[in-house]
Structure 1
Amino acid sequence: MIHSDGTPGPADGSKATLRRSLLAVRAGLTKNDIRASEAALGRRALELPELSGAGTVAAYVSVGSEPGTRALLDALRARGVRVLLPVLLPDNDLDWGLYRGAGHLVRAARGLLEPDGERLGPDAVTEADAVLLPGLAVDGRGLRLGRGGGSYDRVLARLDRAGADPARVVLLYDDEVVARVPEEPHDHPVHAVVTPGGVRRFAQRPGPDGLRP
């Protein structure tokens, strides 16, 4: 179901069931599990050609049991990459701010961490060379399962409207690459998934050598 403003409505039963199952597994992770996965995930992501040549990367700050991104954010910033972080708006759309280090993150709604400082506007994401996306799962078609709020569906739709073509990469745990994600009309495929165990690319985008995987 899609609301008149273009945002997703309530997820169908199959998506909701899959979300509950995946979130239950994440809830069982220990702090040591999350730390170990964060280190491996960061190493894998930093090896991506799409990130090694990027001037601007749109990313996010992991919270709770999400696959960890904080080491990756600092490594990108140390490289001189301009890192954009999302700021949740009241209508679930995303504004963006510049990551200036962990000391410039503030607590926000829903337990999120957001950058302090200047807001750059929702269209700032269209300047990114790569967009790192949160999620709960991805399938072999590159379809991503989010949490159902629609924030990143709007981001991906905005990129399409602007004609922007950054690398769209979702960060997950190894067991969250699944056989199939239920599909809805607003879903946008990603180009690659990075997990602690490796990288998988999808057919929507040529690989760094110009060949499709």
Structure 2
Amino acid sequence: MDKLTLRATIEAARASIPGEKRHAASVQIRESLLERPWVQMAGLVACYWSVGTEPATHGLVFALWKHGATVILPVLRDDDDLDWAVYDGPDTLAPGRFGIMEPVDTRRGVDAVRTAALVIVPALAVDRTTGVRLGRGGGSYDRALARVGPNVPTVALLHEGELLDDVPAESHDLAVRYAATPEGIFKTATAEV
């Protein structure tokens, strides 16, 4: 299946998940992540503010922040690259491009993600073997992942059934080391931690 078809298929499947089931799945993902020592010990976490039918990250971001982590969230630049700014509670967000909530804090630059001890990214699917993630097609997170150190845990959040045996990939598509689903957290072949 090509990327466009797979994206459309996954988007339709996500839209059919009842809201209460999506919420319960997001809670399961959050709790599974918060149990991991490499999440608990991460002093600086790069995450994202979920939208639409994505696994919800609002509770995860808040929990990480309340437990003492510094959480940076992306700010979409005009060139579709990701700048980063610090989340300092739910009242420190404002709508950015496309209405996506972004921190109002000082921008830290595209390289701020290099200093993160944990990077959590959105995905529509992840290849269970290679770790290649299917995004929405803009390339923003591939650019961000290219800046992440080789030993930093990178995690894509997925709904049930989105960890696949085969995800189409191109040379610019980058892998994640873990996929977090309601069923648990799965290592890909790229996981070293």
User: Could you state the TM-score of these two structures normalised by the residue count of structure 1?
Assistant: 0.86
1:75 aligns with one of 54, 63, 68: 63
CA contact (8 A) 1:41 1:68 kept: no
Q: Tell me which residue corresponds to 1:194.
A: 180
Matches within 5 A, 1:39-54: 39-54=27-42
Q: Hey, what's the Cα distance between the residues in 2 that align with 1:187 and 1:48?
A: 27
In structure 2, do the counterparts of structure 1 residues 87 and 40 end up closer, same or farther at CA, with 3 Å as the change threshold?
same
5+ residue gaps, structure 2, are none
Q: Which has the larger radius of gyration?
A: 1
| 1:118-133 equivalence runs, <5 A | 118-133=106-121
C-alpha separation in 2, matches of 1:79 and 1:127: 19
Distance 1:86 1:206 in 2: 25
Q: In structure 1, which of residues 134, 140, 165 is the aligned counterpart of residue 151 of structure 2?
A: 165
- Residue 66 of structure 1 aligns to a residue in which SS? coil
Match of 2:189 among 188, 197, 203: 203
Residue 109 of structure 1 aligns with an amino acid whose one-letter code is R
Distance 1:80 1:151 in 2: 27
Q: CA deviation at 1:111?
A: 3.0
Task: Give the total of aligned pairs.
Answer: 192
Question: Where do 1:1-213 residues align within 5 Å?
Answer: 14-140=2-128, 141-159=130-148, 163=149, 165-207=151-193
Equivalent position amino acid for 2:48 in 1: Y
Q: Structure 1: which 4+ aligned runs deviate by more than 6 Å?
A: none
2:32–2:185 Cα contact (<8 Å) kept = yes
How large is the RMSD of aligned CA atoms in angstroms?
1.3
Change (3 A) 1:48 1:198: same
Paired residue secondary structure (1:175): coil
- Aligned counterparts of 2:98 and 2:14: Cα–Cα separation in 1: 17
CA distance in 1, matches of 2:160, 2:15: 15
Task: Tell me, yes or no, if the aligned pair for 1:105 and 1:113 is still in contact at 8 Å.
Answer: yes
Contact 1:60-1:86 at 8 Å conserved across structures: yes
Per-residue deviation, residues 2-57 of structure 1 (Å, max 9, x unmatched) = xxxxxxxxxxx700100000001111223212211121111011122221111100
CA contact (8 A) 2:87 2:105 kept: no
Normalised by the length of structure 2, the TM-score is 0.95
**Structure with more strand by fraction:** 2
* Of 170-179 and 129-138, the range deviating more from structure 2: 170-179
Where do 5+ consecutive residues of structure 1 fail to align?
1-12, 208-213
